[in-house]
Amino acid sequence: MRYWLIKSEPTTYGIDHIAKDKTTSWGGVRNYQARNFMRDQMKVGDQAFFYHSNCEEPGIVGIVEVSAAAHPDETQFDKKSPYYDASSKREEPRWLNVDFKFVKKTPLVSLNELKKHKKLDRMRILQKGNRLSITPVDPDEWKYIVKLMAA
């Protein structure tokens, strides 16, 4: 079982959206590295920090869990979707995604807070210029952050 961090913009699809939906298909990811994480490494039961990006207070705001393994991303075949990909064929889908289910909201652990902890300075999210929307989280880092939330 692995741990992850997934980014989303709260105005587009934030923690309150998934709290209401209960589960959601994590479609629209158009980055090969992120796709490969979902396709090759994510398993049902893996947990992920839900991170709000591009907003007033960027940071971790909740926990979600993988509820379905990678499957073809429906938005790539939908001509009306902003994620439509004309070069992807049904017989050979280019984009895949997992489903996530809501676990809980957590107290905000802001980006600024994360930066303060020496233990966390290797996290992908804290590296300069990192834009990857799905990144692995080390089990030690996970535990450390969960403790921060409880404090």
Contact residue for DNA among 42, 120, 133, 148 (CB under 7 A): 133
Whole-number Cα distances in Å, 83 to 19, 69, 119, 136, 141:
23, 20, 37, 24, 32
Between 128 and 147, CB nearer to DNA: 128
- The answer to whether 127 contacts DNA (rule: CB under 7 A) is yes
Contact residue for DNA among 108, 132, 146, 149 (CB under 7 A): 132
**What is the nearest approach in angstroms of DNA to the Cβ of residue 73?**
15
Between 1 and 56, CB nearer to DNA: 56
Between 111 and 149, CB nearer to DNA: 111
Mask for 41-80, x = binds DNA (CB under 7 A): ------------xxx--x----------------------
Could you give the CA distance from residue 129 to residue 70 in angstroms, rounded to a whole number? 27
Contact residue for DNA among 33, 122, 139, 140 (CB under 7 A): 33
Query: Is the CB of residue 29 less than 8 Å from the CB of residue 73?
Result: yes
Contacts of 133 (CB under 8 A, 6+ apart): 6, 7, 8, 29, 31, 34
Query: Is the CB of residue 100 less than 8 Å from the CB of residue 18?
Result: yes
Which helix (H) or strand (E) covers residue 108, if one does? Answer: strand 96-110
The tokens describing 48, both together, are 């992920």
Residues in contact with DNA by CB under 7 A are: 7, 9, 31-33, 53-55, 58, 111-112, 127-133
